[in-house]
Amino acid sequence: MSAAPASRATSRTAYAVAALALLAFLAVPWVGISNNAIRLLLTTFLWVTTSLAWNLLGGVTGQVSFGFAVFYGLGAYTAGLSINGGITPYAAIPAGGAVAAFGSLLIGLPTFRLRGPYFAIATIGVNEAVRIVMSNLDITGGASGVRLLQAGRFSQAEHYYAALGVASLAFLVSWRVMHSPFGLALRAIREDQDAAADVGVHPFRLKLAVHALAACLTGVAGGVFAHYTAYIHPDGVFSFSTSTSILLMPVIGGLGTLSGPVIGAAVYSIVQEEMVVHFPQFHLLLYGALLILIMLFEPGGLAGLWRRLARRLRGGGP
Amino acid sequence: MGLDDLLNLFVAAILLAGIYTAMSIGMTVIYGVMKMVNLAHAGFMMLGAYFALEMSQRLPIDPLITSVLAAPVFFLLGIATHRGMVRFVPVADEPTLPSLLLLFGLWLVLQNFGYAVWGADDRSIFTPLTMATFRFGGIVVPVIRLIVFGIALLSLVALHLSLQHTWFGRSVRALTQNREAGQLAGIDTGRTAMLAFGLGIAFTGLAGALLANLYSFTPDFGGSFMLRSFVITVLGGLESFSGVAIGAVIVALIETFSILVVPANYQHAISFILLVVVLLVLPGGIEGLLQRWRRLR
C-alpha cells in the first residue's frame, strides 16, 4: 500500500484541493440547493467521519472491528440524553465522543489480547451483547428508543456545519496520524506485530490509543446524528448492520489511505440514497458482492483501482 | 425446583448438543484444512433453513426427511463456492483478514439474497410432529428434537467413518495437523481443500435445515448460531473433531441451565458474552486448559 510521505509538490496540491473542497462545502447552504441535497451531504459527512475513524484502526493498524456501532451508539445516546437533560449540544456532542472513547478502553483492554481475526470475531460478540444490554436498560429508554426534546434545536444549516466540522476534524486527525511517528508505528503493527514489538513499538498500548481515537471520532459522529434525527433506538445505532456499514465503506474505498475512506463513504451514501427506497435489500447485496470482488481482485479498494487506472492511462507500468 | 425439572433440562441440553455439534463441525473442517474462519456460516445455515421450507412446501414427504437432502445439495454448493472464489484467497497457517472479509461479503450477499427472494417475514415449518412429545418417567421429550438429534448423530458417525477410513479423510486429518508435512507427503491440497469446504458447507446446510424444523426463521437466521459455533469450536480447540462435541455439550448445558438464573431479556446475550469470555480466557479450548493445569502441577 502506498503510504510514503508525499513529496512537497504533491502535498501542496493536496492542501489546495482540500482547502477548495472545504470552501465549496462551506458555501453549500448559501447557494440555494435543495434541503434534500443538503441532507444527503450531511449524511455523507457523518459516514466520512466513521469511515476515516474505522480506517485508523482497521486500515492503518490492521485490526478489523465489527463493533463500531457500539461507539456510534454510545455517542448518540450520550449526546441525546445530555441534550434532553438540558445540556447545550456544543457540550453534549463532544461528551458523546468522550464516553465512546472510554467505552473503547473497556472493550479494548480485554479484546486486544487477541490477534487479527480473533479480535474481529470477538467484536461481533461485543457488539451484539452491548446492543441487547442497551435494549433492556431503563436509562436508554429500552428498545423503544429516545426522542430528543426540541430545546436548543439547530437549523438544518447548523446541523450541516456540525457534520462538516466533524468530518473535517476526522480528516485532519487522520492526516496528522498518518504522517506522524505514531502512524508509522501503527503501520508497523499491521505489517508484523512481533517485529514491531522487537524494535520498541508497544502494540497493545498503541492499539488501545488508536482504538480510543477512532471511537471518539465515531462517537462524535453518533452525537451529531442523534441531534439531527432527534430520535434514536438501540436497533438502529447499536445494530450489527450499522457496524457492517461502518466497516464496508473504508474497505471498499481503500484501506490505509486518506482518500479511500472518503470515496467509500461518498459512494455508499449516494448508492444508499438511490437504492434504499426501491430495493432496500439490494443495497447490501451489492456491497457484499463488491466486498468479494475487492478482496479477490483489488485489495486497495476503489482508491487502488483508481490509482491503477491512472497509471494505465499515463502509459506507465502495470 | 425438583429433580425431574433438572433432569428435563439436562435431557434438553443433550438433545441440543447433538444439533450444535453437527452445526459446528462444518466450521472445524474448514478451519482445520484451510485455516479460514467461515464467516459465511450463518448465510449457508439460513439457506439450509429455506431449503427445508421450500422442500416441505413442494414435496409431500416429512420435512425432516427432505432436510437430509440438504447435505448433498450444500456439498455441491460448497464446492462451487470454493471453485468460484475461496480458492483464490492465499492460504496461510493462520486465519487471514482477506479470507475473513471475503466470507463476510459472501454472508452479506446470501443474507440479502434471502431477503430479496423470501422477504422478511418470520417463517416456520409446522407438521403434526412439531408439538408431539412422549413421556419417559417424569421426563418429557419432544419427538422432533429426538429425531433431529438422531439425524445429527448419524451424520456425525458418517463423518467420523469417512475421516478414519478414506484417503480423503486421511488427507483432511494430515493437513489439519501439519499442512507442510502433508504437502511433502504428496497430498493434493487444492482438491482436499475443495472437498473439505464442500463437506463443511454440507454440514452447515444440513444443520440449518434441521434447525428450521425446531425454530422459526428469517433471512437473518444463523447469526447467533454462527457465534455459538465459534464458541464451540474454540472450546473444542479449533481443529479437534472430538473437541467440538465436548464444546457443544458445554455450550448447550450453559444455555439451557442459564434460564434458571439469567432474566429472559438477557438470554440472547449469553452466546455473545460466552464468545468473548471463551476467546479471552480459554483461547486454547478445553484441551489447552487441561495442559495448563498439568503443567502447573
- Per-residue pLDDT tens for B250-289? 999 998 888 888 887 787 788 778 888 887 777 777 777 7
Given this model, what pLDDT does residue A140 score?
75
Chain A touched by B65 (CB under 8 Å): no
Distance from CA of A15 to the nearest CA of B (A): 33
A136 touches chain B (CB under 8 A): yes
What confidence score (pLDDT) does residue A1 get?
A: 41
List the single residue in B with minimal CA-CA distance to A241: B108
Q: How far apart are CA B182 and CA B171, in angstroms?
A: 7
Say yes or no: B109 contacts chain A, CB-CB below 8 A.
Answer: yes
Cα–Cα distance for residue pair A77/A236, rounded to 1 Å: 11
Mean pLDDT of A256-283: 84
- A163 pairs with which residues across the strands? none
Distance of CA B45 to the CA centre of its chain: 8
Percent with pLDDT over 90 in chain A: 44
Write down the pLDDT at residue A5: 47
- By C-alpha distance, the chain A residue nearest B102 is A292
Taking the alpha carbons of B264, B266, B268, B273 in that order, is the dihedral positive or negative?
A: negative
Q: How far is A129 from chain B (nearest CA, A)?
A: 5
- Which triple of cell numbers denotes residue B122? 418470520
B98-122 pLDDT tens trace: 888 999 999 999 999 999 899 888 9
Chain B residues lying within 8 Å of A282, measured CB to CB: 112, 116
- Give the number of A-B residue pairs with CB atoms closer than 8 Å: 121
Residue in B with minimal Cα distance to A282: B112
The residues in A 139-198 lying below 8 A from B, measured between CB atoms, are none
Instruction: Report yes or no: B283 and A119 within 8 Å, Cβ to Cβ.
Output: no
Pairing of strands A231-232, B133-136: unpaired
Please enumerate in sequence order all residues whose Cβ is within 8 A of that of B215, keeping only pairs 6 or more positions apart, or say none.
B124, B221
Angle at B272 between CA B288 and CA A70, to 5 degrees: 125
- CA–CA dist A176, A172 (Å, integer): 6
**Is the model's pLDDT at B2 over the cut of 90?**
no
B276 touches chain A (CB under 8 A): yes
A199 in contact with chain B, both atoms CB, cutoff 8 A: no
Distance from CA of A128 to the nearest CA of B (A): 7
Q: Residue length, chain B?
A: 297
What would the grid cell of residue B91 be? Answer: 492460504
A67 pLDDT higher than 90: yes
What is the rounded (10 degree) CA torsion for A228, A233, A239, A244? Answer: -10
Q: Which among B113, B269, B276 has the least Cβ separation from residue A132?
A: B269
Mutate to test the interface with B, among A65, A113, A121 (most CBs of B within 10 A): A121
Closest by alpha carbon to A160, among A18, A36, A19, A17?
A: A36
Q: Is the pLDDT of residue B81 over 50?
A: yes
- Chain B nearest-CA distance from A124, in A, is 8
Cβ neighbours of B97 in A, within 8 Å: 62, 64, 116-117, 120
Q: Cβ separation of A291 and B105 shorter than 8 Å?
A: yes
Closest C-alpha among B233, B242, B230, B271 to residue B254: B271
Nearest residue of B to residue A59, measured between CA atoms: B97
Lookup: cell for A212? 480510543
Interchain contact A292–B (C-beta under 8 A): yes
- Inter-chain residue contact A120 with B85, CB threshold 8 Å: no
β-strands B133-136, B139-142 pairing: antiparallel
Residue found by looking up cell 441487547 in the block: A132
More confident residue, A172 or B60: A172
Residue A18 is predicted with a pLDDT of: 81
3-state SS, residue B133: strand
The answer to whether B229 and B23 have CB atoms below 8 angstroms apart is yes
Residue A134 contacts B, CB cutoff 8 Å: no
pLDDT band (50, 70, 90) for residue A173: very high
| A301 in contact with B, Cβ within 8 Å | no
Of B223, B265, B273, the CB nearest to A136: B265
Q: Å from A113 to nearest chain B CA?
A: 7
Interface residue of A55, A109, A127, A128 to substitute, partner B, most B CBs within 10 Å: A128
Whether the CB of A114 is below 8 Å from some CB of chain B: the reply is: yes
Q: Is the pLDDT of residue A2 over 60?
A: no
- The residue type of B210 is L
- Three-state DSSP at A147 gives strand
The answer on pLDDT for A6 being more than 50 is no
**b/e sequence B92-106, b meaning 16+ C-beta within 10 Å:** eeebbbbbbbbbbbb
Q: What is the three-class DSSP state of A271?
A: helix
Locate the domains of chain A by residue range: 8-314
Q: What is the pLDDT of residue A276?
A: 73
| Residues facing B134 on adjacent strands | B141
User: Was domain B3-296 assigned CATH 1.10.3470?
Assistant: yes
pLDDT of A99 reads: 96
B100 and chain A in contact, CB less than 8 A: yes
Share of chain B above pLDDT 70, in %: 99
Number of other CB atoms surrounding residue B287 within 10 Å: 17
Per residue in A178-226, pLDDT tens?
A: 999 999 999 999 988 889 888 888 999 999 999 999 999 999 999 999 9
C-alpha R_g of chain A = 19
Q: Which residues pair with A232 in a beta bridge?
A: A146
Tell the residue number behind the cell numbers 495437523, with chain if given: B177
Q: What is residue A68's predicted lDDT score, i.e. its pLDDT?
A: 95
B122-172 tens-digit pLDDT? 988 888 777 788 887 778 888 888 989 999 999 999 998 988 899 888 888
Best B85, B106, B235, B272 member to test A by mutation, with max A CBs in 10 Å, is B272
* pLDDT tens per residue, range A233-269: 888 899 888 999 999 999 999 988 898 999 999 999 9
Chain B contact for A288, CB < 8 A?
A: yes
Say which residue the cell 434441521 belongs to. B210
Judge: B109–A126 Cβ closer than 8 Å, yes or no. no
Q: How confident is the model at residue A3 (pLDDT cuts 50, 70, 90)?
A: very low
Task: Inform me whether the C-beta atom of residue B97 falls under 8 Å from chain A C-beta atoms.
Answer: yes
Q: How many CA atoms are closer than 13 Å to the CA of B55, on its beta-carbon side? A: 21
Q: What is the pLDDT of residue A7?
A: 54
Ramachandran quadrant class, B140 (left: phi over 0; alpha: psi -120 to 50; beta: rest): beta
DSSP-assigned states of every residue in B175-200: HHH-HHHHHHTT--HHHHHHHHHHHH
Are the beta carbons of A262 and A204 closer than 8 angstroms?
A: no
State residue A27's pLDDT score.
79
Backbone torsions φ then ψ of A238, nearest 5 degrees: -95, 0
pTM (2 decimals)?
0.88
Helix axes A301-314, A240-253, angle to 10 degrees: 10
CB contacts, 8 Å: A116 with chain B: 94-97
In this model, does residue A152 exceed pLDDT 80? no
Q: Where in chain B are the domains?
A: 3-296
Please indicate whether residue B63 or residue A73 has the higher confidence score (pLDDT).
A73
Which residues, including other chains, have CB under 8 Å from residue A20's CB and lie 6 or more apart? none
Residue given cell 459446528 in the structure block? B24
Tell me the C-alpha distance between B244 and B236, whole Å. Answer: 5
What does pLDDT average to over chain A?
Answer: 87
Q: Tell whether B57 lies on the interface with A, counting CB pairs under 8 A.
A: no
Q: Which residues are bridge partners to B136 per DSSP?
A: B139
CB atoms near residue B285 (< 10 Å): 23
Continuous H helices in chain A: 8-27, 35-55, 69-84, 89-111, 116-136, 156-178, 181-191, 193-198, 203-229, 234-237, 240-253, 259-276, 280-297, 301-314
A264 with A251: CB under 8 angstroms?
A: yes
Residues paired with residue A146 on neighbouring β-strands, in sequence order: A232
What are the cell numbers at A271?
448508492
Q: How far is CA A19 from CA A8, A49, B147, in A?
A: 16, 18, 68
pLDDT level of residue A4 (50, 70, 90 thresholds): very low
Please give the Cα distance from A213 to A57 (Å, whole number): 9
